[in-house]
C-alpha cells in the first residue's frame, strides 16, 4: 500500500 506524500517532503521553506 502506498501513502500520500506531502509537498514539503520535497520542497523546503524558502
Q: How far is the CB of 11 from another protein (least distance, A)?
A: 4
Q: How far is the CB of 8 from another protein (least distance, A)?
A: 6
CA distance 14 to 8: 11
Residue linked to cell 502506498: 2
CA distance 12 to 14: 6
Q: How far is the CB of 10 from another protein (least distance, A)?
A: 5
Interaction pattern, residues 1-14, with another protein; x per rule: CB under 8 A: xxxxxxxxxxxxxx
Give the footprint of another protein on this chain (CB under 8 A).
1-14
Amino acid at each position: 500500500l502506498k501513502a500520500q506524500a506531502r509537498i514539503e517532503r520535497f520542497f523546503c521553506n524558502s
